[in-house]
A and B are shown apart, each in its own frame.
Chain A
Amino acid sequence: MGPNFLDNAFFRNIYCNLSESDDVRCSGGGWLGDGLLPGGFEWLAFLITAILMAAILITLVLNASLVFIWAERRLLGRFQSRIGPNRWGPYGSLTPIADAVKTLFKEDIVPAAADRWVFNAAPVIMMVPSLMVLAVIPWGTGTFLADLNVGILFIIAITSLSTFAIVMAGWGSQNRYAMFGAMRAVALLISYEIPMAISLLGVLMIAGSLSLVSVVEAQNVPFILVQPLGFLVFFIASVAEINRAPFDVAEAESELGSGYHTDYSGMKFGLFINAEFTATILSSAVIVAVFLAGGRGWGFLPSQAWFILKMVPVLFFIVWTRASWPRLRIDQILSLAWKGLIILAFINVAVSAILSFIWPAPSTSELWLMAAINFGVLIVSVFAISSWFGSGPVSTPRMSHDEALPRPRPAGLSAGGDS
């Protein structure tokens, strides 16, 4: 077992040029022959190759977030019957670069009352977890830094670190709006972490492993078909976890200034914004790897190209979600998580457990059968939960100052109407 990237021709060549490894995949040497470094220095070859690969991946993802910012603004313009950015470059495609340069040239203001250490550390802690997730995503054959045997758990654990960053930003700014935004964000993030984790359990039962590479290998039928309910819950929870509309109460610009990053300026503000878009790209990558069979496709394109091609509709769908729904209130968001998604995720776990009890190692035809059953479960359970949500009186939370004067609810106010 050498490093994972030996399955990729490009990185295998670099590694084998440098080291005198006795790995079978290195037997032909690299382009330049074999062993430029003396024996015993395989670790240095590994270090150089891994740094190079991490640098390439990080650069690509950071640039992809710039492309995504442009694409999102153009698409939102189209969705809202306006043109969108069109001044700088063809179809406005250089706008995010202009934004980035502007951000670099802005003064970095730290409020006088701020807790300086906490305030400065927050954007870094926001950004680094996103970039750590990048290491375990299988972008294609051999195109990943590490195939961890706890891959999915690692992703869930690392992405929840952004909760700390948001609390630190809100607390460190010593700003009312920032603190409100941070508190809302924490309630939202921790509530959606549970359905997000539980919705993946059905996938893991079929794949029989927590490693993302094995999950991709197990997908003879894409898991979006085999686990439709799990996909639905995971998609909603990921959109919430990355703080995007309709779950963007943490930075609701019409009520909180800009939420937890109100007081940030310059490059720190830029990092917060970039972390949001990077997280969007990475969670769409996780969705592709777990539910859309990762880099698997037909032979005429390399696996990396398949992976990116599959990410495009997921990202488009996330933008479409943002354009279609208004922002939910915090109590609606939390009750959707606790009363809706957690129940749906548990139904999914129960059904998948029973199904994988019947078919312990499913063949492709058994996977299709599972898909049929799970689609039935999806339709019934989503219909049941959503019709339950639509019934009952409309709950409007009262502010504490008018609690003494209970207002009579209008008699004609019926179920479901958001009057």
Chain B
Amino acid sequence: MPEGFDVKWAAVVIGAGVGLMAIVGLFMTSWFLSPKRPSEDKGVAYESGIRPGEFRWSQINIRYYIYALLFLIFDVEAVFLFPWTITFLKSSDIVFYEMLVFLGILLFGLAFAWRKGALSWR
């Protein structure tokens, strides 16, 4: 019997595999049961009855990009915070204050982005 770590992740992979098989089973059932009568009109993208134009993607607001940049910073920070929460009680006090400094710098960054108007939708 493989021990510990391997067993747990193997169980997760087995769970994912069974889930994938359930989905494939649904797809196959639907494939056998559903009609297949393709036509040209069915292949047109549905835009509430209006024929889609030549250029199918429209422009996307630049704001989304700024939020994505901010997300990257804060998500990496969250990844750093997770191990800290578990270990700071077992480590020396300096670890606790160091993380407060780190959080302070990040919150200063958030305040800066806020002040610059990156968080408002103009």
Contact B18 A46 (CB under 8 A): no
Residues of A within 8 A of B75 (CB): 190, 193-194, 197
Interface assignment of B88: CB less than 8 Å from any CB of chain A: yes
Contact B45 A263 (CB under 8 A): yes
State how many residues of chain B have any CB contact under 8 Å with chain A. Answer: 70
The secondary-structure label for the interface of chain B is helix
Contact A111 B44 (CB under 8 A): yes
Contact B57 A174 (CB under 8 A): yes
Contact B52 A190 (CB under 8 A): no
Interface assignment of B108: CB less than 8 Å from any CB of chain A: no
Interface assignment of A312: CB less than 8 Å from any CB of chain B: no
Which of B7, B46, B74, B96 sits near A46, CB closer than 8 Å?
A: B7
A124-B23, A179-B58, A339-B119 given as contacts; is B43 within 8 A of A54 (CB)? no
Contact B18 A51 (CB under 8 A): yes
Q: Which of B1-41 contact A (CB under 8 A)?
A: 1-4, 7-12, 14-20, 22-23, 26-27, 29-31, 33-38, 40
Q: Which of A313-350 contact B (CB under 8 A)?
A: 330-331, 334-335, 338-339, 342, 346, 349-350
Contact A136 B12 (CB under 8 A): yes
Interface assignment of B101: CB less than 8 Å from any CB of chain A: no
Residues of B within 8 A of A357 (CB): 89, 96
State how many residues of chain A have any CB contact under 8 Å with chain B. Answer: 92
Which of B16, B45, B114 sits near A128, CB closer than 8 Å?
A: B16
A4-B8, A21-B1, A54-B14 given as contacts; is B57 within 8 A of A257 (CB)? no
A128-B20, A146-B11 given as contacts; is B71 within 8 A of A177 (CB)? no
Interface assignment of B105: CB less than 8 Å from any CB of chain A: no
A197-B78, A204-B85 given as contacts; is B26 within 8 A of A271 (CB)? yes
Residues of A within 8 A of B34 (CB): 104-108, 266-267
Interface assignment of A240: CB less than 8 Å from any CB of chain B: no
Task: Write out, one digit per residue, whether chain A residues 102-137 have a CB within 8 A of any chain B CB (1) or not (0).
Answer: 011111111111100000000110011001101110
Residues of A within 8 A of B42 (CB): 107, 109
A175-B45, A201-B81, A339-B119 given as contacts; is B64 within 8 A of A186 (CB)? yes
Residues of A within 8 A of B110 (CB): 338, 342
Interface assignment of A47: CB less than 8 Å from any CB of chain B: yes
**Residue among B58, B70, B121 with max Cβ neighbours from chain A (10 Å):** B121
Interface assignment of B116: CB less than 8 Å from any CB of chain A: no
Residues of B within 8 A of A190 (CB): 67-68, 71, 75
Contact A176 B85 (CB under 8 A): no
Which of B16, B33, B71, B114 sits near A104, CB closer than 8 Å?
A: B33
Residues of A within 8 A of B94 (CB): none
Residues of A within 8 A of B2 (CB): 43
Q: Which of A362-407 contact B (CB under 8 A)?
A: 395, 397-398
Alpha-carbon gap, A4 to B44, bound state (A): 51
CB contacts between A and B, total, < 8 Å: 233
Residues of B within 8 A of A338 (CB): 67, 70, 110, 114, 119
Alpha-carbon gap, A350 to B1, bound state (A): 44
Contact A43 B81 (CB under 8 A): no
Interface assignment of A198: CB less than 8 Å from any CB of chain B: yes
Name the residue of chain A whose CB is nearest to the CB of B119.
Answer: A338
Task: Write out, one digit per residue, whether chain A residues 173-197 have a CB within 8 A of any chain B CB (1) or not (0).
Answer: 1111101100100110011011001
A4-B8, A58-B22, A146-B9 given as contacts; is B44 within 8 A of A112 (CB)? yes
Alpha-carbon gap, A335 to B119, bound state (A): 7
Interface assignment of B92: CB less than 8 Å from any CB of chain A: no
Alpha-carbon gap, A166 to B25, bound state (A): 22
Contact A176 B121 (CB under 8 A): no
Name the residue of chain B whose CB is nearest to the CB of A130.
Answer: B19
Contact B86 A210 (CB under 8 A): yes
Which of A1, A123, A198 sits near B78, CB closer than 8 Å?
A: A198
Interface assignment of A208: CB less than 8 Å from any CB of chain B: yes
A54-B19, A145-B14 given as contacts; is B57 within 8 A of A339 (CB)? no
Interface assignment of A273: CB less than 8 Å from any CB of chain B: no
Q: Give the B-binding residues of A (Cβ under 8 A).
A: 1-4, 19, 21, 23, 42-43, 46-47, 50-51, 54-55, 57-59, 62, 103-114, 123-124, 127-128, 131-132, 134-136, 145-148, 153-154, 173-177, 179-180, 183, 186-187, 190-191, 193-194, 197-198, 201, 204-205, 208-210, 257, 262-263, 266-267, 270-271, 330-331, 334-335, 338-339, 342, 346, 349-350, 353, 356-357, 360, 395, 397-398
Give 8 CB contacts A-B under 8 Å.
A50-B11, A51-B14, A128-B19, A176-B56, A267-B29, A335-B119, A338-B119, A353-B88
Q: Give the A-binding residues of B (Cβ under 8 A).
A: 1-4, 7-12, 14-20, 22-23, 26-27, 29-31, 33-38, 40, 42-48, 52, 56-58, 60-61, 63-64, 67-68, 70-71, 74-75, 78, 81-82, 85-86, 88-89, 96, 99-100, 103, 107, 110, 114, 119-122
